Amino acid sequence: MFVALAVVCDEFFVPSLEVITEVLNISEDVAGATFMAAGGSAPELFTSFIGVFIANSNVGIGTIVGSAVFNILFVIGMCALFSKGVLVLTWWPLFRDVTFYSISLACLIGFFIDKWIDWWEALILLLCYISYVLFMKFNQDFEDFVKSRLNGNKVTSMRSRDNLIRESGSPTPRPVGNSSMEENSPSPPPQVTILIFT
C-alpha cells in the first residue's frame, strides 16, 4: 500500500499539480495550501461526509482531528528519523502554519463547547481557511516584511570614534590647556563607540 501511494504521488499527483500551477499561474505556496491539501485530505473529507450524512455518527470529526495529529507527529517524526542527512528547516513556514493552526483549533474548540455547530460557526471556519489561502498568496511579501522588522534593529558592526577619524583623514583633536604638563601628557584614547544599524 505504501509503495502504491508513493508511485501514485510521484508519477501522477505531483506532475499534475505542477501542470495546474503553471496553467493557472499560481505560486507553489498557494498550490500547496489548496490542491495539495485537497488531494491529501480527500480520504478524510469523504469519510466525514459518510459519517455525518449517511452513518449519522461523529466518526468524521475524529478522523479529521486524528489525521492532523498523525500528520504532525508521526509523519514528521518518521521523516526526520529515517533521513540520511540533517534536515535544514526555516522558522517562517513553521511560525506561519502553527499560528493559523492554533487559531483554527481555538475556534474549533470554542464552537464544540455547546456540542453543536451552527451555520455561522461553520462559515467562520470556512473563512479562516480562505484567509489562510489569501495569506499564502502574499506569503513572500509577509515574510519579507516580518524579517525586515525583526532585523531592523540588529547591530551589524561597531567602530570607535578614533577609527572613524583616522578613516576620514581628519587629525585627532588635542586637549586644550594652559600648563605645559597638560600639553606634554598624552591624551587618553577616546571611549565613544558608534553603533551602525541596518
pLDDT in tens, 66-80: 778 888 888 888 888
Whether the per-residue pLDDT at 195 is higher than 80: the answer is: no
- Three-state DSSP class for residue 15: helix
Which long-range CB contacts under 8 A does 88-96 form with residues at least 24 apart?
A: 92/143, 92/146, 92/147, 96/135, 96/139, 96/142, 96/143
34, three cell numbers: 489548496
Task: Please list, in sequence order, all residues whose beta carbon lies within 8 angstroms of the beta carbon of residue 17, skipping any fewer than 6 positions away.
Answer: 31, 35, 36, 39
Closest among 2, 109, 107, 117 to 48, alpha carbons compared:
117
Count helices and strands (H / E) in the chain.
11, 2
The least confident of 10-14, 100-104, 172-176 is 172-176
pLDDT tens track for 122-146: 999 999 999 998 998 888 899 999 9
Q: What is the pTM of this model?
A: 0.65
Q: Average pLDDT, stretch 73-88? A: 85
The pLDDT assigned to 160 comes to: 46
The least confident of 44-53, 70-79, 141-150, 185-194 is 185-194
Rounded Cα distance, 190 and 182, in Å: 17
